[in-house]
Amino acid sequence: MAERLLEVEDLQVSFATEDGVVRAVDGVTFTLDRGEVLAIVGESGSGKSVTSMTLMGLTRGPNARFAGSAKLKGKELLTASEEDLQHIRGAEIAMIFQDPISSLSPVHRIGDQIVEQIRAHDKKVSKGEAFDHAVELMERVGIPHARARARAFPHEFSGGMRQRAMIAMALSLSPSVLIADEPTTALDVTIQAQILAEVKTLKEHSDSGIIFVTHDLGVVADIADRVIVMYAGRVVEQGTLDEIFYDPQHPYTWGLLGSVTRMDRDPPKRLPSIPGLPPSLIRAPRGCHFRPRCPHEFERCAEVPPLEARVAEAPDHLDRCWLEVEDKRTRREIEGRIGLVRDAA
């Protein structure tokens, strides 16, 4: 069995704001093993970025409150000292951010920014060695003429090349956990595909665990082993890629999957969408957070549904919906959005 890297249990993150307390993450539980790709999916504001940034201690601040537990190889991250976190950041957990244009310092050379990362954790490495290593990394992620390009500034790079540089930086110390926070969202479609290919290569050639935060289900289908679906700060469903795509249990997941165009279907006249907007996390609805937008809502939904397995043959496929499994399958078919054709895979 692969080594367990992350163990997150009942993670809660809230921020005090002028309007009230925002419960950005409300009871998130998951694990990450070596060599696996875990996708966290959800709309903007569902808490997926806050969850991943909390693992690195990047959401800490005077107004932030944390509860629950998040352990890296058994070591608690939520209560770790700022100094311990400094050693973990970049070396144990590294992150690739959404917008490569604003995520690199505009006034430092690309190579120097990677060198800075390497030397932050090992002062014994000379600048020259670190630079050579940076060039190697840049070559590895497919930046041509890496040695010359390492002396360039971020504004002399295209968006895709900058994201490659970000990946090179994140990989520089071979972290056990790599968090990619919507790494392709800000890029052109063709560049997206290249960057995804890069992440896939990474998955095959390194034994890091990868957390891939995205709202793009096409990307998820492409690279994830397991999927967490988040809605309004809570995990509404989690399971393997096949479980989520071919036997989704939560009406929100149906909605997400239904809003994607599929190559194996006739194109719909109008791309379906989930009506309504996600709730405010300051005054979230009682019970199931998805209730106000859910067409299948009934009395019991005012109680918070537990995150538990409802499909007997898949004990790790968890969801938060009160509907009976058979009932769900019928309703899902009627909604007509999800195909159950397993052979299509």
Residues in contact with other proteins by CB under 8 A are 56, 58, 62, 82, 86-91, 94-95, 97, 99, 102-108, 116-117, 120-121, 153, 155, 166, 169
At 44, the amino acid letter reads S
| Nearest one of 62, 58, 61, 80 to 70, comparing CA atoms | 80
Smaller CB distance to other proteins: residue 46 or 117?
Answer: 117
* Shortest distance in whole angstroms from residue 285 CB to other proteins: 30
Calculate the alpha carbon distances from 223 to 38, 45, 107, 219, 316 in Å. Answer: 9, 23, 34, 7, 19
Smaller CB distance to other proteins: residue 170 or 294?
Answer: 170
Q: Which two tokens stand for residue 126?
A: 């000379």
Owner of token pair 């054709």 = 341
* Shortest distance in whole angstroms from residue 313 CB to other proteins: 40
Smaller CB distance to other proteins: residue 187 or 323?
Answer: 187
* Shortest distance in whole angstroms from residue 189 CB to other proteins: 22
| Nearest one of 234, 242, 243 to 310, comparing CA atoms | 243
Smaller CB distance to other proteins: residue 58 or 260?
Answer: 58
For helices 110-121 and 159-171, the axis angle rounded to 10 degrees is 20
Annotate 246-304 with DSSP letters as a single string. HS--SHHHHHHHHTS--TTSPPPSS-----S-PPPSSSPPSS-TTGGG-TT--GGGGSP
H or E element, residue 78: none
Smaller CB distance to other proteins: residue 127 or 300?
Answer: 127
Rounded Cα gap, residues 224 and 340, in angstroms: 19
* Shortest distance in whole angstroms from residue 197 CB to other proteins: 23
At 290, the amino acid letter reads F
* Shortest distance in whole angstroms from residue 159 CB to other proteins: 14
* Shortest distance in whole angstroms from residue 105 CB to other proteins: 4
Is-contact 248 329, C-beta < 8 A?
no
- 3-class secondary-structure state, position 14: strand
- 3-class secondary-structure state, position 317: coil
Smaller CB distance to other proteins: residue 55 or 257?
Answer: 55
Owner of token pair 């419960």 = 23
Report strand pairing: 318-319 vs 234-240: antiparallel
* Shortest distance in whole angstroms from residue 45 CB to other proteins: 18
Smaller CB distance to other proteins: residue 211 or 229?
Answer: 211
